[in-house]
Structure 1
Amino acid sequence: MTVYIALLRGINVGKNNRIKMVDLKNLLETLGLEKVKTYIQSGNVVFEASDDAVRLSERLEEEISKTFGFPVPVILRTAEQYEQIIHDCPYSMESLKEGESIQLAFLADEPSHEKIDNLRSFKSEPDECFINGKEVYLFLRQSILDSKLAAQLPKLEVPATVRNWKTVIKLSTMIE
Structure 2
Amino acid sequence: MTTYAALLRGINVGGNRKLPMADLRALLAALGHTGVRTHLQSGQAVFTTGRGDEESLAAELGRAIEERFGFAVDVLVRDHAYLAGVVRACPFPAAELEARQLHVTYFSAPVTPDRYAHLDQVDHLPEEFRLGDRCLYLYAPDGLGRSKLAEALSRPRTAKGLIATSRNWNTVVKLAELTASPA
**CA offset at residue 148 of structure 1?**
1.6
Partner of 2:174: 170
Partner of 2:163: 159
**CA offset at residue 24 of structure 1?**
0.3
Change beyond 3 A, Cα 1:78–1:156 = farther
- Paired amino acid for 1:160: A
Partner of 2:33: 33
C-alpha contact (below 8 Å) 1:53/1:76 kept by paired residues:
yes
Give me the whole-angstrom Cα distance separating, in 2, the residues matched to 1:12 and 1:74.
14
CA RMSD after TM alignment: 2.0
**CA offset at residue 163 of structure 1?**
0.7
**CA offset at residue 110 of structure 1?**
1.9
CA displacement, residues 86-127 of structure 1 (integer Å, 9 cap, x when unaligned) = 100011233226x96111111112235531433575731221
Q: What fraction of aligned residue pairs are identical, expressed as a percent? A: 33
Runs of 5+ consecutive residues of structure 1 not aligned to the other structure: none
C-alpha contact (below 8 Å) 1:119/1:156 kept by paired residues:
no
Give me the whole-angstrom Cα distance separating, in 1, the residues matched to 2:32 and 2:100.
40
Runs of 5+ consecutive residues of structure 2 not aligned to the other structure: none
Number of matched pairs:
175
Give me the whole-angstrom Cα distance separating, in 2, the residues matched to 1:4 and 1:108.
15
Change beyond 3 A, Cα 1:94–1:154 = same
TM-score calculated relative to the size of structure 1: 0.90
TM-score calculated relative to the size of structure 2: 0.87
- Paired amino acid for 1:132: G
**CA offset at residue 69 of structure 1?**
1.1
Partner of 1:124: 124
